[in-house]
């Protein structure tokens, strides 16, 4: 009796165990989503380009607009960030298709050719494609003029050259097939846009095509190049992921960019990396490029010696804005020396001879340090330097007036992009009558900071930027980022207020 009772129970238990095992196997056999694989791996792999916008190694470590966004996204996922920079854009595509990287974040336009192969994320800024020429040469105003001039010359040698990975090629091919069968242009499979822009600047190439942001940055190094005409309207810049039925990574990407834009953090990052490129002074830039070669080598050791926690190139840019690297510079208003210090400011930072370049640079850096230490902690660390430079020029009190005016108008007083647009209002009685410190030449302070940022970018591009070694089709140059909070250091102690600001508060 007992025997017959145990057999059915044993059989039932075996069935139950088998069902559980089968269920477990089915669960384990289900493929993991892209998002689950990244989290299980503990690393987000991002393919990028090594340039001034996307990713580069700065004095404080990794930097770049796409790098900082990728770092934030990796933080959201709770994983480390692995940057895989490539020399050429085409190198990134097979890496994404093969699953060697999870995302391409390289400032790429969402062209039909790219969106057909990959899925674009939300647009985070816009550029237009521009035909570039060298100042002093013939300037076509439209593509038709360029083609017509080519037809008249009757030359078969290409006057316009573009890079291989460019949707511009399709535009030019369409134009040639439709209206101008004799139009000749060249596609260089090895060159990057920066290479072709340099060729135009040196007179080795008549025309090329570049996006508006890359051209603006390149003009800081090659002031001879300029826009001939706009080839396209503004086009969106996006990240790219693989096309598949799995939308886990893509969905989180949309959510991330939506939050980053709504919070104002995206605008802050864009201001940090491309906010200074809106204007261009050809004459000033040419003079600056000459000074980079003739004057900077003499003074660079001094800037490096006294820059301390600041990037020496930023200190050099500040000194150029003040005196054009002239240690004996004098002004009718009473400022003197390399850093153009007022007498009260010089005394407050221990400078006894303002015309001594060593004392001037040391004192100027100390004064800047004091300005940074007084900037409210509510302001993002990387933006404190711009507020400090504005205070260096117009006075701390007037800078704070501009912040209060910004808040009164419903914008963020902690955002440089918002405050810099309110600084010029300090000239108008309608606004300065409502402030604590009254009238100020706020427009000059805004231009002062933006000039320094442009000079700073030129120094980086002219001297320090080093392209990574060319490769065929790989992204083996891996950099695992430990997600540091790279930032400009502040003085840890509360410094006393200087006896006098550079101008009266």
| Contact yes or no for 351/306 (Cβ under 8 A) | no
pLDDT at 86: 84
In contact, 343 and 334? CB cutoff 8 Å: yes
- Residue 254 pLDDT > 90: yes
- pLDDT, residue 157, reads 54
Residue 76 has pLDDT above 80, yes or no: yes
- What values do phi and psi take at 340, rounded to 5? 50, 60
Looking at residue 501, its pLDDT comes to 35
Average pLDDT over residues 494-502: 31
**Residues 6 or more apart from 426 whose CB is under 8 A from it?**
394, 398, 401, 402, 405, 432, 435, 439, 440, 441, 442
Q: Which of 43-52, 190-199, 280-289 has the lowest mean pLDDT?
A: 280-289
Question: Catalytic residue among 68, 214, 322, 501, which?
Answer: 322
242 has a pLDDT exceeding 90: yes
What lies within 8 Å, CB to CB, of 457 at 6+ separation is: 52, 217, 220, 276, 277
Least confident window among 149-158, 270-279, 297-306, 351-360: 149-158
Q: In the 8-state DSSP scheme, what is residue 55? A: B
Residue 74's closest CA among 99, 103, 33, 50? 103
The answer to which of 166-175, 306-315, 426-435 has the lowest mean pLDDT is 166-175
Cα distances from 358 to residues 104, 176, 299, 354, 393, in angstroms, run 46, 61, 10, 9, 21
The whole-number average pLDDT for the span 374-398 is 92
What value does the mean pLDDT take over residues 305-323? 94
Residue 59 scores a pLDDT above 80: no
Digit-coded pLDDT (tens) for 343-383: 889 999 999 999 999 999 999 999 999 999 999 999 988 89
Bridge partners (DSSP) of residue 227 are: 132
pLDDT above 70: percentage of residues in the chain: 81
The mean pLDDT value for 79-98 works out to 89
Mean pLDDT for 463-482 is 46
Q: Scanning the structure block, which residue is given the tokens 């400011």?
A: 345
Domain ranges of the chain: 125-234, 282-463
H or E element: which one contains 65?
helix 65-77
- Predicted local confidence at residue 485, as pLDDT: 37
Alpha helices in 107-208 (DSSP H): 112-117, 143-153, 168-178, 193-201
pLDDT at position 29 is: 55
Which residue stretches of 324-422 are H helix?
Answer: 343-348, 357-374, 381-394, 396-408, 416-419
For residues 185-197, average pLDDT? 88
- 474 pLDDT more than 70: no
Q: CATH class for domain 125-234?
A: alpha beta
Residue 490 is predicted with a pLDDT of 31
Per the model's pLDDT, the better-predicted residue between 199 and 498 turns out to be 199
Sheet containing 186-188: order of strands: 186-188, 160-163, 207-211, 129-134, 225-230
Task: Give residue 331's pLDDT.
Answer: 79
Does position 414 have pLDDT exceeding 70, yes or no?
Answer: yes
Average pLDDT over residues 144-173: 73
CA distances from 176 to 145, 147, 380, 406 (A): 14, 9, 50, 52
Two tokens at 357? 């370049």
The per-residue pLDDT for 401 is 94
Q: What is the pLDDT of residue 280?
A: 64
E strands in 232-352: 235-242
Q: Is 322 a catalytic residue?
A: yes
Average pLDDT, the chain: 82
Please give the pLDDT value at position 22.
53
Predicted local distance difference test score (pLDDT) of residue 446: 92
Phi-psi region of 242 (alpha: psi -120 to 50; beta: other; left: phi over 0): beta
The residues, any chain, with a CB within 8 Å of residue 281's CB and separated by 6 or more, are none
Q: Is the pLDDT of residue 7 over 70?
A: no
Where are the extended beta strands (E) located within 225-268?
A: 225-230, 235-242
Question: pLDDT over 90 for what percent of the chain?
Answer: 45
The confidence band for 63, taking pLDDT boundaries of 50, 70 and 90, is: confident
Long-range contacts of 268-271 (CB under 8 A, 24+ apart): 268/380, 268/383, 268/415, 268/416, 268/417, 269/65, 269/68, 269/69, 270/65, 270/124, 270/125, 271/383, 271/415, 271/416, 271/417
Quick check: helix, strand or coil at residue 18? helix
> Degrees (nearest 5) of the Cα angle 266, 271, 276?
160
Q: Which token pair is 198?
A: 């340099």
Q: What tokens does 348 get?
A: 């407050």
Structure tokens at 469: 């070694």
Does position 111 have pLDDT exceeding 90, yes or no?
A: no
Average confidence (pLDDT) over 442-466: 82
Helices (H) and strands (E) in the chain, counts: 21, 14
Please give the pLDDT value at position 307: 93
Average pLDDT over residues 210-232: 87
Report the pLDDT value the prediction gives residue 498, as an integer from 0 to 100.
29
Lowest mean pLDDT among 104-108, 176-180, 211-215: 176-180
Residue 41 three-state SS:
helix
The pLDDT of residue 209 is above 70: yes
Is 452 in contact with 432 (CB distance < 8 Å)?
no
Query: What CATH code is assigned to 282-463?
Result: 1.10.530.10
- Residue 248 in 3-state DSSP? helix
User: Strand, coil or helix: what is 125?
Assistant: strand
Whole-number pLDDT of residue 119: 94
């Amino acid at each position: 009796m007992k025997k017959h009772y145990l057999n059915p129970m044993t059989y039932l238990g075996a069935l139950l165990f088998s069902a559980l095992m089968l269920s477990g196997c089915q669960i384990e056999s289900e493929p993991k989503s892209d998002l689950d694989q990244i989290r299980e791996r503990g690393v987000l792999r991002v393919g990028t380009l090594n340039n001034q916008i996307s990713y580069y190694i700065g004095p404080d470590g990794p930097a770049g607009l796409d790098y900082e966004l990728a770092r934030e996204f990796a933080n959201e996922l709770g994983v480390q960030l692995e940057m895989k920079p490539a020399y050429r854009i085409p190198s990134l595509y097979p890496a994404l298709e093969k699953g060697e990287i999870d995302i391409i974040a390289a400032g790429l336009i969402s062209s039909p050719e790219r969106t057909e192969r990959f899925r674009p994320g939300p647009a985070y800024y816009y550029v237009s494609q521009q035909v570039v020429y060298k100042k002093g040469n013939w300037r076509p105003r439209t593509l038709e003029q360029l083609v017509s001039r080519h037809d008249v010359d009757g030359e078969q040698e290409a006057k316009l050259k573009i890079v291989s990975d460019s949707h511009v090629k399709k535009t030019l091919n369409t134009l040639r097939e439709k209206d101008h069968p004799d139009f000749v242009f060249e596609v260089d499979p090895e060159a990057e846009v920066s290479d072709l822009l340099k060729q135009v600047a040196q007179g080795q190439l008549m025309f090329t095509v570049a996006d508006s942001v890359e051209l603006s940055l390149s003009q800081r190094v090659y002031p001879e190049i300029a826009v001939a005409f706009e080839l396209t309207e503004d086009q969106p810049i996006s990240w790219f992921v693989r096309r598949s039925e799995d939308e886990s990574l893509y969905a989180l990407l949309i959510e991330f960019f939506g939050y980053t834009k709504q919070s104002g953090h995206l605008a802050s990052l864009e201001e940090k990396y491309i906010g200074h490129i809106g204007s261009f002074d050809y004459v000033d830039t040419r003079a600056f490029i000459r000074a980079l070669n003739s004057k900077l080598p003499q003074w660079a050791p001094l800037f490096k010696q006294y820059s301390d926690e600041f990037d020496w190139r930023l200190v050099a840019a500040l000194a150029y804005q003040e005196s054009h690297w002239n240690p004996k510079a004098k002004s009718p208003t009473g400022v003197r020396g390399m850093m153009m210090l007022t007498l009260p400011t010089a005394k407050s930072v221990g400078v006894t001879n303002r015309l001594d370049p060593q004392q001037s640079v040391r004192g100027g850096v100390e004064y800047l340090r004091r300005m940074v230490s007084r900037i409210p902690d509510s302001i993002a660390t990387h933006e404190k330097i711009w507020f400090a430079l504005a205070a260096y020029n117009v006075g701390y009190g007037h800078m704070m007036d501009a912040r209060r005016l910004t808040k009164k108008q419903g914008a963020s007083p902690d955002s440089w992009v918002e405050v810099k647009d309110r600084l010029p209002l300090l000239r108008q009685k309608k606004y300065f009558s409502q402030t604590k410190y009254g009238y100020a030449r706020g427009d000059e302070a805004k231009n002062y900071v933006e000039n320094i940022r442009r000079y700073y970018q030129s120094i980086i591009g002219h001297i320090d930027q080093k392209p990574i070694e060319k490769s065929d089709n790989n992204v083996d140059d891996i950099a695992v980022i430990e997600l540091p909070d790279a930032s400009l250091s502040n003085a840890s102690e509360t410094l006393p207020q200087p006896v006098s600001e550079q101008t009266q508060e």
